Amino acid sequence: MHLGGSYWRFWAASGLSNIADGIFGLSIALVALDITRSPILISGLDLAAQLPWLLFALIAGALADRLDRRRVLFWVDILRVAVLAVLVLASLADHRSIGILYVAALVMGVGETLYDTSAQSIVPSVVARDDLERANGRMQGIEIVSNYFVGPPLGGLLVGVSSVLAFSTGSAIYLIAALFVLSVRGAFRPERAGPPTTIRTDIVEGLRYLRDQPVLRRLGLITGGRMFTFTAVSAVLPIYAVAPGPMKLSAGGFGFFIASTAIGAVISSLVGERTVARLGAARCLKLTMLAFAVTELSPLAVNPFAVGALWMVGTYFVIIWNVITLSTRQRIVPERLLGRVNSVYRLVSLGAMPLGAAAGGVFAQLTSPRLTFVVCGAATVLLALATLPITDASLAGPEEPPPADLTDEPGGPADLAGAADPRSVTE
């Protein structure tokens, strides 16, 4: 079924933003490695980038249910343009420091909470309910491909020339993404009924809603545990992978290693829905947790080709996990609450990432990266047990409402996004 021009413009904007994210993420890590080889200081970059999910996620969700979500995407991309421009100036003036990198990572993290929460709440406004899995799969696919397959190797090559070139290229790509967002017609501010409320009241309503939804609550907690262990692994991986680490990769080679792992995501974004249809959503969630454990243990193989192959398996199932959990929320949560519930869910799940980054860096400093991989992989195996009570019925959501005419013509979803009770929600 046709997903519509508005969807594909948001899809293109997301892809471009994530390419720039990939360039920024690898570039800032490699620039930091030129300044220090301390596991604690390097993992601190991940901590700074992910800390806003703990501190700002709930406010971001409340804002996403109050503001025009399309405008939020635009202004966040403009903020990112400015942050990278500052890093360009700092590099040109030879004033690079770990402190400046920390501030940049923190500001970009705040922007990410606003961008991701709003972007996840837009998809149901531009596609039909029956197309949610396919639309979410394509969106997840372009995000992971851009963040892993395109951005990191491009960032590695650009940093190999100069950090100025890397940061300025990322800034330009963010600007193009912002222009794609502007090209989408219509208003995307959720309809609000009743008397005015405070931000605090809105946040509490979202918290209570997720608390009272058993399957969403369980999925959020499991995802939080998995993100904790995975971030602990990824925070110390550059030290283990880049020479003189055991994997002996160059800076550019590490970028291509990260890119190769996205092959699994590409395949999953195209055919993962068939895996779900054949095995069932609940069974796929259980298999996914085991695949995550394999990914976290994979650096022990040392050989980059073997490790990369195992990470491909992990990224294949990352897409499946994200699409299932995202579509489940879209079917269960009312549209007016979507931003808040998404933000609470992501506070629980992604809020674990800065804690994981900090724990991974400290644990690796006190012991070794190898032991970090072993402990995290074993913990994820235990987390897989928490998926046992989840059934296909619990993931199905309420009965489908009467179909709406979702087209790209005037009066379609792009123009009706602000009308009363537009279609339900996404991750």
Q: Where are the domains of the chain?
A: 5-187+197-397
Q: How distant, in Å, are the alpha carbons of 332, 346, 416 from that of 62?
A: 18, 13, 21
Nearest to 395 by CA among 287, 265, 289, 276: 276
Rg, Å, the chain Cα set? 21
Distance CA 263, CA 244 (A): 27
Residue range 5-187+197-397 in CATH 1.20.1250.20: yes
Closest CA to 223 of 346, 337, 372: 346
Give one DSSP letter per residue of 377-418, joined into a string: HHHHHHHHGGGTT--HHHHH-SPPPPP----SSTTSHHHHTT
Gap between the Cα atoms of 304 and 301, Å rounded: 8
Q: Considering only CA atoms, which of 416, 392, 391, 409 is closest in space to residue 335?
A: 416
pLDDT of residue 73: 94
Q: Spell out, as residue ranges, where the chain has pLDDT lower than 70.
A: 1, 397-427
Distance in angstroms (rounded) separating the CA atoms of residues 339 and 221: 18
Distance CA 314, CA 299 (A): 13
What is the pLDDT, as a whole number, of residue 397?
Answer: 63
| Rounded Cα gap, residues 410 and 5, in angstroms | 12
By the 8 A CB rule, do 411 and 314 touch?
no
pTM for the predicted model, two decimal places = 0.70
| Cα-based distances in Å from 177 to 74, 105, 183, 376, 424 | 8, 20, 10, 36, 25
Taking CA atoms, 110 is separated from 100, 135, 140, 335, in Å, by 16, 26, 21, 23
pLDDT at 140: 78
Kindly report each contact of residues 107-112 with a partner whose C-beta sits within 8 Å and lies 24 or more positions away, as own/partner: 107/79, 107/83, 108/24, 108/49, 108/80, 108/83, 109/48, 109/49, 109/50, 109/51, 109/52, 109/53, 110/52, 110/56, 111/76, 111/79, 111/80, 111/83, 112/21, 112/49, 112/52, 112/76
CB atoms within 10 A of CB 324: 23
- CA pair distance 74, 179, nearest whole angstrom: 8
Helix/strand/coil for 191: coil
Query: What is the tens place of the pLDDT at every residue in 288-347?
Result: 999 999 999 989 988 888 988 898 888 888 889 988 888 888 888 887 888 888 888 878
| Residue whose entry in the numeric block shows the structure tokens 């995202």 | 326
DSSP symbol at 301: G
The pLDDT score that the predictor gives to residue 188 is: 84
Tokens 């046709």 sit on residue? 2
Q: Left, alpha or beta for 94 (phi > 0: left; psi -120 to 50: alpha)?
A: left
Name the DSSP letter for residue 242: B
Q: Could you tell me which of 226, 202, 217, 194 has the C-alpha nearest to residue 356?
A: 226
The pLDDT of residue 100: 92
* Closest by Cα among 202, 195, 200 to 340: 202
